[in-house]
Structure 1
Amino acid sequence: MKSDAEPVRLAGFELRQRRHVCAFFNSDEEAYRVLLPFIADGFCCGHKAVHLLNPGERANHLERLSQAGINTQAAEQSGQLELSTNTDTYLSDGRFDQDRMIAVFTELASGNAEGPYPLSRIVCHMDWAADGRSHVADLIEFEARVNDVWSQHDDVVICVYDLAKFGGDTVVDVMRSHPLVVIGGILHENPFFVPPAQFLEEFRSRRAAGSPWTCSEVENDDGT
């Protein structure tokens, strides 16, 4: 990203060079309380908003944005607001393909995308990965790999995780693949972040060895 990129505020702090964030929340109310000021500020700054939502959440999400003072109809018509479902984006052909998604986000990045917006504020709800165990390990690899895309652009990317839907081992690896983390509603420089090449070497070794957690990231309420 540009060394002179304008700082962006999130959860009370300024994002500067690193802008790939994992955000952990316990409820939708907590998530919107933290994210809505960041989203609304983006519209005031003339940034593009790209939101990948869980299926069926469009109407509620638009209502939340409207309550924050955003003219959602005008924003969608102008192209400043772009809404898609996370399943259509990440699972367009019914499966998760890391290389395809790297290409999708590379094209979406502000340095490559057409339009008048200096950068994008991208919010991705990651619940889609909790619906099938086969997605989680590939997702974690992708989260590490995509750092190489976002490090070249000024965009802010927030990956939103519902803590009730992901196992503890998955949460730890998600944290280790993001340079910044929002937890407890506060943005932190992530002391657990591991550079992508190092993380991928370790993670792929674990996968090849058949580490037990890769078969049990997503637990049912009864612990099975």
Structure 2
Amino acid sequence: MSKQTPFSVCGESLMSPMHICGFFDSREQQYEVIIPYIMEGLAANDKVINILEGNRHGEHCRCLADNGISIAETMASGQLEILASEDTYIKGGEFAADKMYDMLERNLLSASRAGYESVRACGDMVWALKNLPGTDELLAYEASLNVLTPKHSCSLICMYDVSSFSEDTLTEVLLTHPYVIKNGKISKNKHYLEPSAVKSGISDFVSKPLKS
């Protein structure tokens, strides 16, 4: 188990490492949760990583700047990274769970070597709705993060738009996160299953449509 470090989300004081599923019904609700989380991380000298669709980067940066975050300064120092889904989750036009796991682990190790005590990462999972090759590895990937996070001082928020994903997909995704954000509140997830238990149900999951 890595060193525990404090962080806050949804007004609750928590300790990393933590893998969190964020269910949001609007862009506004999403930002109400992640902006304070990001701002606190920057003030605490945590490494902050945001991953979202490339066409959202301009809007995202404007939102951060409107809340007093110096985009140029924090990105130049390397403390803030804003990455594109197209260069991470679906690099090369496909999703590969093992490659994404390795990329995230490299980023966590790099942050530690750079002197950051903790990493805060938010990933928008909308890329999965494109149903590109490998998307059926989504559940396996989410489950694998519960093996990765305890090894590092980090908090990871996987953000899902509840109006876009099917109810079956959201139910399955919920099984892979120890904590869940819903209606702007965070709680321990009573439906969480250990990675080994989740893997046994992957064959059932992959046949289900992701989009409602």
**TM-score with structure 1 setting the length:** 0.88
Q: Counterpart in 2 of 1:119?
A: 118
Instruction: Give the CA deviation at 1:113.
Output: 4.7
Q: Counterpart in 2 of 1:222?
A: none
**Contact conserved, 2:8 with 2:14, CA < 8 A, in 1?**
yes
Instruction: Give the CA deviation at 1:111.
Output: 7.1
Identity between Structure 1 and Structure 2 (%): 27
Q: Counterpart in 2 of 1:166?
A: 165
Q: Counterpart in 1 of 2:2?
A: 2
Give, in whole Å, the separation in 2 of the partners of 1:132 and 1:160.
17
Residue type of the alignment partner of 1:8? F
- Worse overlay, 170-179 or 110-119: 110-119
Q: Counterpart in 2 of 1:72?
A: 71
Give, in whole Å, the separation in 1 of the partners of 2:93 and 2:59.
25
Instruction: Give the CA deviation at 1:91.
Output: 1.2
Structure with the greater alpha carbon radius of gyration: 1
**Contact conserved, 2:7 with 2:16, CA < 8 A, in 1?**
no
**TM-score with structure 2 setting the length:** 0.93
Instruction: Give the CA deviation at 1:55.
Output: 2.2
Q: Counterpart in 2 of 1:31?
A: 30
Instruction: Give the CA deviation at 1:114.
Output: 3.2
Q: Counterpart in 1 of 2:199?
A: 200
Instruction: Give the CA deviation at 1:129.
Output: 0.2
Specify every segment of 5 or more residues in structure 1 that has no aligned partner in the other structure, as ranges: 208-212, 220-224
Instruction: Give the CA deviation at 1:67.
Output: 1.4
Q: Counterpart in 2 of 1:218?
A: 211
Instruction: Give the CA deviation at 1:217.
Output: 2.6
Give the 3 Å change call, closer, same or farther, for CA 135–218 of structure 1 in structure 2.
farther
Q: Counterpart in 2 of 1:149?
A: 148
**Contact conserved, 1:50 with 1:122, CA < 8 A, in 2?**
yes
Q: State the SS of the aligned residue for 2:13.
A: strand
1:45-64 counterparts in 2 under 5 A?
45-64=44-63
Give the 3 Å change call, closer, same or farther, for CA 202–216 of structure 1 in structure 2.
closer
Give the 3 Å change call, closer, same or farther, for CA 112–73 of structure 1 in structure 2.
closer
Q: Counterpart in 1 of 2:83?
A: 84
Specify every segment of 5 or more residues in structure 2 that has no aligned partner in the other structure, as ranges: none
Between the two proteins, the alignment pairs up a number of residues equal to 212
Give the 3 Å change call, closer, same or farther, for CA 110–133 of structure 1 in structure 2.
closer
Residue type of the alignment partner of 1:145? S
Give, in whole Å, the separation in 2 of the partners of 1:104 and 1:187.
27
Give the 3 Å change call, closer, same or farther, for CA 185–92 of structure 1 in structure 2.
same
RMSD between aligned residues = 1.8
2:101 corresponds to 1:108? no
Give the 3 Å change call, closer, same or farther, for CA 62–10 of structure 1 in structure 2.
same
**Contact conserved, 1:133 with 1:216, CA < 8 A, in 2?**
no
